Amino acid sequence: MKQVTLQPLNDHVSIKTEANLLEALLANKLDVIMACKGRGLCATCLVHVTAGQEQLTPMTDVEKRRLGRITTTKNNSRLACQARVMGDGVVVEVPEGMYMESVQDLMALVGRRAEQDILNPISGEVLIAAGKLITRSKVQTLESLEADILELRNKSSDRL
């Protein structure tokens, strides 16, 4: 077993050696949408590794390509579903904000202010910033994004 620390919660999680970081997030009941079902194609399991990067398996080409397209990638970013834990001392920080799951969910929030950043599950960019009013027109402009998310999910199911 190996220990992983999740920030900003400062929770310590034990996971099996060679298990991926996604398991550490899920073990801590973090709500990870996994829009691509762990295939390395979306941004919803993006984490920033603040310590112990050398204890993770190196990036695969799929992960490198995907991270290259996520707008919020930093030098220490990894996709939790692709990075396997080989040693102790890995510390990861989960990006703040909530990923958009469906236009319908957002429609229910029209007229309210976003409590946290609402993020694009494919590119990681902020769609509606925390504190901003969620308007009907803003949500309607996200309809094409919802179609992209559905397509991604379908593609991921086909490939399983």
Provide the binding-site residues for ligand FES, judged by CB under 6 A: 34-36, 38, 40-42, 44-45, 79, 81
Which pair of tokens denotes residue 49?
Answer: 């590794």
Q: How far is the CB of 35 from ligand FES (least distance, A)?
A: 6
Which pair of tokens denotes residue 59?
Answer: 């990036």
Beta-strand ranges (E) seen in the chain are 2-7, 11-15, 46-51, 77-79, 90-93, 98-99, 118-119, 126-128
C-alpha distances (whole Å) from 72 to each of 120, 138, 141 are 10, 21, 21
Contact 129, 144 (CB under 8 A): no
Q: How far is the CB of 55 from ligand FES (least distance, A)?
A: 19
Q: How far is the CB of 133 from ligand FES (least distance, A)?
A: 30
Q: How far is the CB of 27 from ligand FES (least distance, A)?
A: 15
Four-residue CA torsion sign, 13, 87, 53, 26:
negative
- Residue 25 or 139 having the CB closest to ligand FES: 25
- Residue 83 or 139 having the CB closest to ligand FES: 83
- Residue 123 or 130 having the CB closest to ligand FES: 123
- Residue 35 or 127 having the CB closest to ligand FES: 35
